[in-house]
Structures are given as structure tokens and as C-alpha cells.
């Protein structure tokens, strides 16, 4: 079962929930946690696993061969991302903008744009008792998170079967990287905080999940600050609230030291158990 943990904005506690839920669930069963926030992954700060595998990840980009090029301009016309342009008697490519769609290469009448690999980042695989932790990170200067997220998801699919819980710490926001990170998930947990900012971004995230026709629910982090706006909104939209994680100074202290929270704060563990119970219901088909 694939469960993505997402949020409409950064800083809501997505990584706190992902890492604590992964460690908590792994006390009873095998769990995979994957950090798909490839621009700035930080789940690894809380998981002290042993590095068991590391590999560079590549994306394919067009490489111009001028010998047979007729300067017809087809390549520029078919690229939706302005990643290739005709400039005088030259064809220029911008690998940072390229989405590796192969269109220019396939449609070049003279085969003057063969696709070649370019390194975009690296993937690391750590192991800790019942928990496998995978983290991918974009190289400095690389702008496209989607291809690395896609390659990381391929790695998970090839490495692990379907009868295991796979948690995905998705990037924040509602743009392409989030869509890529959540599109194959069976269930999405949207993490928010009970503030006007949290509500604003939660609405965007809920609209995105509805557009994707995803099964999702909400976890409220830092419960106790702000107001009732998030609860009222979830009621009006009939969105299930799975858990309410408290707002204690001790939690911030544990987080700042990279320590797990549920092992020190009983109410946090109780709320995690509610999420775990829902996951079990989803696995057994009792919950939708």
C-alpha cells in the first residue's frame, strides 16, 4: 500500500509526521519511507539507518549534432518547455528546462538530436531493522524535480512488493512535483496547521486531491494554536480528520535534536495510533 504525506505548504510538519509514523509502524511491521522532497530532503536527519546502497540518477537530454541538421526548426516548435531553440545557425539546448519527453529527438527528420544521459542527482538507500529509508537529492543547479521523483518511484517499485507499507514524504505545494509524488498513491495524508495560512493552503491541496480523484484525509499539526477554521472547513467539505498532533514546546526541542517524538510524548503516540488504525482499515478494505 502506497501512502503519500503531503501539504499545501512547507513547514506544516510533513517530515515530522512521515518520520515518526514510519518509525512507529516499523515497530510492528516492515515499512518503506521515501523522501521525495528531492530539492531539500531532510527526513534522513531523523532516521539513523545504515547506508546499504547509493547510485547516481540520470535524465535523458537531447544533444545536437550539427552535421545533418537542416535548421528546419521542428525541434523548437515541439518543445513545450522552451528547452531547445534555434538561434541563427545553431540549435541550443537548456538541459535544466528539459523534461526528457523525447519529442524533439523523435521528430527530428535528420536524427540530429540523439538523447544522452545527464546526471541530475543521487539516490541513497538506508536500512534500520524493520525500516528501509530511501532518499533522493537533486544536484546543485538542477531545476527539474519530477524526473528524479519518477526515477526514485521506479526504484521503489522494482525493489519492493505491493504487500508492504510504503510511505512517501512528498514535496510541499500543489505543483508538478507533488502530482508526480502522489499520483500512484492509494491514500494521501494532508498535513496542515490550524491557522489562516494553513487553511488557505489546505484548500489548495484538497482541490488538487479532488481533481486527481484521490482518497485522502487530514492530519492537523500544532493543534491548539490558531483557530477552528480548518476543523470547520473539513466538516463542510466532509473531509476526515485522522489525528490532531499537539503543539508542545517539548516537541520543537525533540525535533531540533533530530529525535523521534512519539517515544517521548504519549499523546503524540496516541494520535499516531489513530492514523495506524486507519491504515489497517484501508489495508483490510474496511475503510475507504
In angstroms, give the least distance from the CB of 38 to ligand SF4: 19
Q: Is 73 in the site for ligand SF4 (CB under 6 A)?
A: yes
Extended beta strands in the chain, E state: 2-6, 31-35, 50-62, 84-87, 90-93, 115-128, 131-138, 165-169, 187-192, 216-223, 241-246
In angstroms, give the least distance from the CB of 143 to ligand SF4: 12
Name which of 41, 147, 151, 37 is nearest 97 in CA terms: 147
**Could you give the CA distance from residue 135 to residue 124 in angstroms, rounded to a whole number?**
5
Q: Is 146 in the site for ligand SF4 (CB under 6 A)?
A: no
Among 74, 118, 127, 130, binds ligand SF4 (CB under 6 A): 74
In angstroms, give the least distance from the CB of 154 to ligand SF4: 18
**Could you give the CA distance from residue 255 to residue 190 in angstroms, rounded to a whole number?**
20
Number of shown-chain residues binding ligand SF4 (CB under 6 A): 27
Q: Is 113 in the site for ligand SF4 (CB under 6 A)?
A: yes
**Could you give the CA distance from residue 20 to residue 12 in angstroms, rounded to a whole number?**
14
Distances in Å between the Cα of 85 and the Cα atoms of 49, 66, 102, 210 are: 45, 14, 15, 37
Comparison of 80 and 162: residue with beta carbon closer to ligand SF4: 80
Which region among 29-37, 101-109, 136-144, 147-155 touches ligand SF4 (by CB under 6 A)? Answer: 101-109
**Could you give the CA distance from residue 174 to residue 237 in angstroms, rounded to a whole number?**
19
Query: Looking at residue 225, what DSSP letter applies?
Result: B
Q: Is 150 in the site for ligand SF4 (CB under 6 A)?
A: no
229-237 vs 196-211: helix axis angle to the nearest 10?
A: 20
Comparison of 72 and 204: residue with beta carbon closer to ligand SF4: 72
Among 5, 84, 243, 265, binds ligand SF4 (CB under 6 A): 84
Comparison of 148 and 170: residue with beta carbon closer to ligand SF4: 148
Residues numbered 32-71 forming contacts with ligand SF4, rule: CB under 6 A? 62, 69-71
Among 25, 108, 153, 239, binds ligand SF4 (CB under 6 A): 108
**Site residues (CB under 6 A) for ligand SF4?**
62, 69-75, 78-79, 81, 83-84, 86, 91, 98-104, 108-110, 112-113
Amino acid at each position: 500500500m502506497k501512502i503519500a504525506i503531503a501539504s499545501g505548504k512547507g513547514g506544516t510538519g510533513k517530515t515530522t509526521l512521515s518520520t515518526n509514523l514510519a518509525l512507529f509502524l516499523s515497530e510492528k511491521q516492515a515499512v518503506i519511507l521515501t523522501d521525495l522532497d528531492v530539492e531539500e530532503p531532510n527526513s534522513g536527519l531523523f532516521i539513523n539507518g545504515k547506508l546499504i546502497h547509493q547510485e547516481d540518477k540520470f535524465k535523458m537530454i537531447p544533444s545536437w549534432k550539427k552535421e545533418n541538421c537542416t535548421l528546419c526548426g521542428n525541434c523548437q516548435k515541439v518543445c513545450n518547455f522552451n528547452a531547445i531553440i534555434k538561434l541563427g545557425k545553431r540549435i541550443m539546448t537548456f538541459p535544466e528546462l528539459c523534461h526528457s519527453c523525447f519529442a524533439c529527438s523523435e521528430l527530428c527528420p535528420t536524427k540530429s538530436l540523439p538523447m544522452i544521459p545527464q546526471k541530475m542527482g543521487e539516490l541513497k538507500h538506508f536500512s534500520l531493522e524493520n525500516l528501509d529509508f530511501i532518499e533522493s537529492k537533486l544536484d546543485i543547479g538542477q531545476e527539474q524535480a519530477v524526473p528524479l521523483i519518477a526515477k526514485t518511484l521506479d526504484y521503489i517499485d522494482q525493489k519492493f512488493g505491493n504487500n508492504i507499507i510504503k510511505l512517501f514524504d512528498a514535496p510541499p505545494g500543489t505543483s508538478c512535483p507533488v502530482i508526480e509524488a502522489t499520483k500512484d498513491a492509494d491514500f494521501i495524508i494532508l498535513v496542515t496547521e490550524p491557522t489562516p495560512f494553513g487553511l488557505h493552503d489546505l484548500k489548495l491541496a484538497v482541490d488538487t486531491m479532488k481533481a486527481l480523484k484521490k482518497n485522502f484525509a487530514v492530519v492537523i499539526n500544532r493543534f491548539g494554536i490558531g483557530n477552528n477554521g480548518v476543523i470547520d472547513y473539513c466538516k463542510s467539505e466532509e473531509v476526515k480528520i485522522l489525528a490532531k498532533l499537539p503543539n508542545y514546546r517539548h516537541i520543537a526541542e525533540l525535533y531540533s535534536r533530530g529525535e523521534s517524538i512519539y517515544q517521548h510524548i504519549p499523546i503524540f503516540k496516541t494520535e499516531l495510533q489513530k492514523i495506524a488504525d486507519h491504515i489497517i482499515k484501508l489495508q483490510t478494505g474496511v475503510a475507504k
